[in-house]
Structure 1
């Protein structure tokens, strides 16, 4: 990790020299010297880190630690100097006395940098002289390393971890689930060590078509070490309307019990750690003698026996040699025949590598991902084998050693990016958008010609996924990563490495496994539990995460009151708080801040606990701010000074009709790429055309009068990839989007536009000809459009359309037709609340790629279309539909069953009358 600390600092110094130039006054020489010396030291750090991680010499470990601490110290010197410099540039410093004080402060600041860098020089000289004593060589002179840009990006891997082996175990468990002769409710346990494939097996069983057709109610709940009973009950109640903020364990238990009584249920409790979990939960699982089942996955045999003492749990074994080879080669050579993919001259090395994994699936997956980044040469593979010559004690140690091997081989910037995953709650689904913006704020992302830093961030995430260090769980409409996860074994390593290297610490005010004794030395702190006051003395803190990333209960803000001003070098501040009614004025002094997030960044919903009414005028003091996220219901005013921050790149604001449109003026933030939640106004004509870097735009409260300005401005935005327009037609004003020819022309000129959302009634009663729609459109969502003419005639001709959603009477006609050969690329179709629709026809050869279909609360629809039998669906959801409609689709006996019997996953729910 020392090379990550030094690498990040070298990058920062280089950027500083370029950006500030002569503005560094008398300290430029010191900064340039420091950058040169640290760059030289980088050559030795990889060798030193490798020796340290092999445990060769305690002195080497101390050398690496001293080097890391020296890099942190140098970074603190530079950031403190820049803080003083930026403070002198803040508004209001007028008058002779203030100018004199400012000059005096500058001289003092420059002198301090001279003195501090002199101390760094002395320490760096000592470290340099000690290299030979410790046997640390210039690794670049002894081995041929690949530059980060040369790592091959292989074809897209499957997002799920392949299940190899366990065929017999799956067959047995599926039979236990679907056996209708066993009427009593029962618990089935899958037991095995971390990384053995318990969750992968359980997911394969959970998604099996026979299982899907045998149960009425499903729930998948990740327990982990951190979940409380309240969390678990909330997760079982998937539908948000079933819960309320005031729910207690008692009230939620009743709701869960009542929900599960409505049919035959299958609930998976994944990764149970504590014996008392089942004791506390079992009363909420009713036994109505209908064959309901609960699956538990756990590492502990005693947990399984407590849940079901009469039945032996399914204990997973390690993979045999044939299975291990198959899984390893799938990761090294994706999408190839595993029998022929490995060149003969590499077979022996492959065998040796597989042997080292001892049949542990996670170790095979991670090692396979690591080897996939290496050249397919004997020399490269031999070096991997040689690096694994140490003796492993047991499977767990073997897995950690392989993970450490992959981690140590990462470029310095990817090490920093990877360790950030430890900041998130165990088993949490992580937004790539948020993750990459945090990496950006921290300065982790390298510069690559022709790419934005956000694009570089996506490349880094794909690289980590290729190496199987993280798992991609879903992708965006354009194929980029939407969400990802990290295996809990890998997360444990992140936390361990982070604590060793002062990267971050997790503060928990309880006695759980992850409780950390605070050292007050880490660069970042994650506060997960309620504290009376944040007692943390490290004023050099760079990141503060307060109650975020998976916390169900927001923490009270009072613990931070009066504390924030101490952390003057903060770059990242994430607050998931309650009881806050105004922006803390202390934030004004955090002029290094690049990321500021209030409330839950993962949700598009309002926060009931955040009562901020105004974004203050002093927000402009944060002129390094790149990302600003705010989610609250009661916002009434946004200071126009927000738009004077030239470094702003991403702004997400709450959708609120009470907030006046902005007055951006002439000095708009030209680096802005994301603008969401802003109300329409005169700025559309004045400022929007100047935001030429916009990639994602979401505008609310759009009226007819905005049509001409909007259509004219959109033509100036050549990089726009996602556009959402929300009409005010559902408000008391009753005016609608003016979708006239000007706006349509503006859409058609958007050559990058791939996602379009139009929400509100349209003046015209039919869609225009498909030629004037953006031909590269991948995702389209229409809501409340009020179209009287079937929109499918236009939409089915869009050549790239993959995702289509028709919401809330976007079409008010009675008949809908999908023509033959229409929708050639469509993967997903959602039909939601089309209240007038009665008949739907799908002609032969229509929608040849459709995998997902949802029909929701369109109560006049008489039956599913005949042509659905020819559509290759993987998943069908029919929700809140009349009983008669559902009955026609009943397995084997329903009139329409033959139309959908080929669909493996079907979910149906009757409309509540």
Structure 2
């Protein structure tokens, strides 16, 4: 992926040369030459990568690998130049650095190495051009070289849409409802990419299935699973972390939880023909009550050995021609409501779909490519020809479409896509962790002053719209929160990442690694050029890492990203972090849910490049050190769910680059060293803010305007959990959010009436509203607007509001754009709909107290 490495480096180089020219003054001539050569090479590197893969030519492969390594080294030199140009306070010393005697050795060594890199890259440029048959001085058209941003930079395709599976789901649901005795097993058997998991998931999430079973358990069975992992996964589904139990105790617990219950267990993607492990688990499960098992597998023998009888084996068929075309156009023309704009494109589209042979994964992947193509015939013909070439090489429409999808990614998205390679099979991944990684390593192009978080979200949408990422969980407003990738997508990711030393399965000579309990000493000892080291454990699991491995971290001098979330170390965590200040290039530090983190070490003050600091869910963290306010590059500070944290340090308003601040608890009037809420008025770049309020004196009378001038603020969460005193609701009532707010979450509000500012006049742009817990019994009269002003809210969540009484008809009148209603444990609501997404079905009334969501 030389084009991706070059693109990322050029982004950093151009930024440094234009905004921080004094840092590289001494080496400007060499950096300018490097920039010129690489910009020229950008025009044909993508083609060189493709030719390298197709021809399997070892000479070209080595040339491209050499180029990649040289670019990485140049990037490290650029970063070192920036460090050398700063004093102990993180301020630039400017051109004086270049003549300061102590830096003469660095100056000489760096200048010499840059000249050598330039010479080698010039030689590589000549070799690649000759190999591709490109004349040495040929001018390539500007539009070929432009790194165009995506045509669609936000989610446009609804992943919940399923095509052609109605009959499949109906048959399997009928089998489930028929179950009475024993523990019948239903097998869904078919080749990869046929939609086995999609069918099982659709059945699993159907409302009548949810109502029919007391417990529903989904287990992803990886190819490297073991029996204990399966049992722990089942228990996690039942809400039990089960740390430290042996297999016998785990199975006894499962039996206890399920005894007397009607349950459904889905064992997804089983590979092993040795099913003795399942026989042992199944023997310990309670039988009867209408409980059932669903198995998805590519291997018929596996389904049979796990109890699937012939009468209850389902073999999904290929999609019909009509369903294939429907699925394709729903994605390829998602920006046009799924409608093909003209007959010429339809002819090409139909020809492409025909080559997918009815395989849903292949159709989705190639349709995702076309979504990003302009609706011009010659562009579609060109992609059609590329697809035909891929199919000629491998008679596998799924892998051909996936390879083409990767080839067609913009360079910056290739790096983002390959980041999935470090995660284990079937791992559920938090979108936030991915976005923070991409920002920290500089994968994301920042243009025209865009917010880094916004740019990261757009990159994720680029992969999601192309159907390279599968949605696992969404928030109430259908924003993706967690994801995973299909095992066939992962096969491609692993292969490309291995070839390009982005990540290697053996962990050796990689620039990116995932932290698991199995990580070995030699994986760190041989990776001193490591760029990113991240926690990649599956949901609810914890890393256990040996002390010897932990002490190796500070030797990875070029580490940009370090995420130790959900890790337990044999040595003291404070001791581990004692030398973290030596990682001068670190931009993202994740310590979420690490125990027992009580305080941050003094050495953290040296991390002047730090952009993201996440210490969320550290319940024992008592304070943040005052030096936090000197980390001027911080964009994200997350201290949410830190129950022991009283307040943040005074001077936080100096962090003018902050875009995300979560868990902000203002100092009380008697906490002189704490940050008051008034300091928020200086953080004008904030896009996301989470306030944690407990009592009225955290908001002074002169501080109620602290949020009014936040023009960039899109998301605001106000939580009054564990509040005390009777004046807090009166103070919150005066704390008016900015008008352009897009989403508001109000949790544990102590007042009986909603805040006065919660109305369509004060918040005219609000699209998403969540109100949870608290004492609200009625909405303020301003909430209902007037004849001329109504809400623009599209998604509404009401949860655990036992006293709130609202009539559905009245709410509809003031929220005419409402599309999603998510309601639970609100018994006083009247006539609310049972179904969301268009409000199909019956009506929820006070007499029928079922949960509506």
Normalising by the smaller structure, the TM-score range is 0.7 to 0.9
Indicate how the Cα distance of structure 1 residues 584 and 121 shifts in structure 2: closer, same or farther if over 3 A, else same: same
Indicate how the Cα distance of structure 1 residues 121 and 190 shifts in structure 2: closer, same or farther if over 3 A, else same: same
Deviation at 1:9, TM superposition (A): 1.3
Deviation at 1:327, TM superposition (A): 2.6
* Consecutive unaligned residues in structure 1, runs of 5 or more: 506-515, 600-606, 827-845, 879-888, 890-894, 908-913
Q: Deviations over 1:762-785 (max 9, x none)?
A: 3x7665375475344444455664
Instruction: Map residues 626-641 of structure 1 onto 2, 5 A cutoff.
Output: 626-630=611-615, 631-641=617-627
CA distance in 2, matches of 1:279, 1:134: 58
Task: Figure out how many residues of one structure are paired with residues of the other and give that number.
Answer: 827
Instruction: Map residues 881-900 of structure 1 onto 2, 5 A cutoff.
Output: none
CA distance in 2, matches of 1:91, 1:449: 26
Question: Is residue 538 of structure 2 the alignment partner of residue 539 of structure 1?
Answer: no
2:440 corresponds to which residue? 441
Q: Is 1:188–1:296's contact at 8 Å kept on the other side of the alignment? A: yes
CA distance in 2, matches of 1:101, 1:129: 33
Q: Is 2:262–2:291's contact at 8 Å kept on the other side of the alignment? A: yes
SS at structure 1 position matched to 2:64: helix
Instruction: Map residues 217-366 of structure 1 onto 2, 5 A cutoff.
Output: 217-237=215-235, 242-274=240-272, 275-276=274-275, 277-288=277-288, 290-308=289-307, 310-311=309-310, 313-334=313-334, 341=340, 343-366=342-365
Deviation at 1:825, TM superposition (A): 7.5
Instruction: Map residues 435-474 of structure 1 onto 2, 5 A cutoff.
Output: 435-449=434-448, 451-474=450-473
Q: Is 1:474–1:484's contact at 8 Å kept on the other side of the alignment? A: yes
Indicate how the Cα distance of structure 1 residues 736 and 136 shifts in structure 2: closer, same or farther if over 3 A, else same: farther
Kindly report the root-mean-square deviation, in angstroms, between the aligned alpha carbons of the 2 structures: 3.8
Of 194, 197, 219, 2:195 maps to 197
SS at structure 2 position matched to 1:296: strand
Q: Deviations over 1:70-109 (max 9, x none)?
A: 22232233334444445x6468999xxxx99993431111
SS at structure 2 position matched to 1:713: coil
Q: Is 2:656–2:685's contact at 8 Å kept on the other side of the alignment? A: yes
SS at structure 2 position matched to 1:671: coil
SS at structure 2 position matched to 1:194: coil
Deviation at 1:647, TM superposition (A): 0.3
CA distance in 1, matches of 2:497, 2:248: 38
2:515 corresponds to which residue? 527
Indicate how the Cα distance of structure 1 residues 674 and 342 shifts in structure 2: closer, same or farther if over 3 A, else same: closer
Deviation at 1:458, TM superposition (A): 1.8
Stretch deviating more after TM superposition (544-553 or 297-306): 544-553
Indicate how the Cα distance of structure 1 residues 821 and 300 shifts in structure 2: closer, same or farther if over 3 A, else same: same
Indicate how the Cα distance of structure 1 residues 17 and 557 shifts in structure 2: closer, same or farther if over 3 A, else same: farther
CA distance in 2, matches of 1:875, 1:384: 43
* Consecutive unaligned residues in structure 2, runs of 5 or more: 668-673
CA distance in 1, matches of 2:612, 2:8: 20
SS at structure 2 position matched to 1:675: strand
Deviation at 1:422, TM superposition (A): 2.1
CA distance in 2, matches of 1:426, 1:854: 34
Deviation at 1:596, TM superposition (A): 0.1
1:662 corresponds to which residue? 648
CA distance in 2, matches of 1:50, 1:105: 46
Indicate how the Cα distance of structure 1 residues 7 and 868 shifts in structure 2: closer, same or farther if over 3 A, else same: closer
Indicate how the Cα distance of structure 1 residues 705 and 73 shifts in structure 2: closer, same or farther if over 3 A, else same: closer
Q: Is 1:220–1:268's contact at 8 Å kept on the other side of the alignment? A: yes
Stretch deviating more after TM superposition (565-574 or 528-537): 528-537
1:512 corresponds to which residue? none
Of 660, 672, 675, 1:683 maps to 675
Of 701, 719, 725, 1:735 maps to 725
TM-score by length of 1: 0.82
Q: Is 1:825–1:849's contact at 8 Å kept on the other side of the alignment? A: no
Instruction: Map residues 32-431 of structure 1 onto 2, 5 A cutoff.
Output: 32-55=32-55, 57-86=57-86, 89=88, 103-137=100-134, 141=140, 145=144, 147=146, 149=148, 151-153=150-152, 157-160=156-159, 162-179=161-178, 183-237=181-235, 242-274=240-272, 275-276=274-275, 277-288=277-288, 290-308=289-307, 310-311=309-310, 313-334=313-334, 341=340, 343-390=342-389, 392=391, 397-431=396-430
CA distance in 2, matches of 1:870, 1:296: 29
1:488 corresponds to which residue? 487
CA distance in 1, matches of 2:550, 2:820: 53
SS at structure 1 position matched to 2:221: strand
Deviation at 1:321, TM superposition (A): 3.8
CA distance in 1, matches of 2:526, 2:271: 34
1:696 corresponds to which residue? 688
TM-score by length of 2: 0.87
Indicate how the Cα distance of structure 1 residues 804 and 544 shifts in structure 2: closer, same or farther if over 3 A, else same: same
Deviation at 1:847, TM superposition (A): 10
Instruction: Map residues 759-778 of structure 1 onto 2, 5 A cutoff.
Output: 759-762=748-751, 767-768=755-756, 771=759, 774-778=763-767
1:15 corresponds to which residue? 15
Q: Is 1:778–1:800's contact at 8 Å kept on the other side of the alignment? A: yes
Q: Is 2:832–2:843's contact at 8 Å kept on the other side of the alignment? A: no
Stretch deviating more after TM superposition (77-86 or 450-459): 77-86
2:670 corresponds to which residue? none
Deviation at 1:550, TM superposition (A): 4.0
Indicate how the Cα distance of structure 1 residues 85 and 193 shifts in structure 2: closer, same or farther if over 3 A, else same: farther
CA distance in 1, matches of 2:97, 2:182: 85
Indicate how the Cα distance of structure 1 residues 150 and 233 shifts in structure 2: closer, same or farther if over 3 A, else same: same
CA distance in 2, matches of 1:769, 1:134: 67
Q: Deviations over 1:500-546 (max 9, x none)?
A: 101123xxxxxxxxxx33432x2112232335635422322111124
CA distance in 1, matches of 2:642, 2:155: 40
CA distance in 2, matches of 1:321, 1:765: 56
